[in-house]
Structure 1
Amino acid sequence: MEPATTVLTLLPIMIIVFYLIPIVFIVWVTFTVIKLLKQQSKLLGEINEKMNK
């Protein structure tokens, strides 16, 4: 197999990978931020309850 043929064979896979990696990263960041915001809200709620006592 010639190197050019190998590159052309791998091109569709590379395109999928280059589109898939950013999408997966964005989803991961989104879920991480949501999780951290929920923890922060819970902590702030607990602080608020302690201050109101």
Structure 2
Amino acid sequence: MIIWCLVSLVVSNGIDCVRRYREGKNNVTLKLTSNALKRATVVALSDYFS
């Protein structure tokens, strides 16, 4: 019984870790993409107005 508790704890923690890691990775990708878009917009606008 105790072993089952430990196993389920480890498994659920592992799943939680993977989920958090994936979310973190997605956040980083989103940040990089939005930064790239902002930079492109700024460059396009400065080209347009110059």
Q: Same fold (TM over 0.5)?
A: yes
Deviations 1:2-34 (A, max 9, x none): xxx764441111110121111110101111111
Candidates 7, 14, 22, aligned match of 1:11: 7
Q: Which has the larger radius of gyration?
A: 1
Moved over 3 A (4+): 5-9
Residue correspondences, number: 49
The alignment yields a C-alpha RMSD, in angstroms, of 1.6
Match of 1:33 among 23, 29, 32: 29
Instruction: Give the letter for the 1:36 counterpart.
Output: L
TM-score when normalising by structure 1: 0.74
**Which blocks of at least 5 consecutive residues in structure 2 are unaligned?**
none
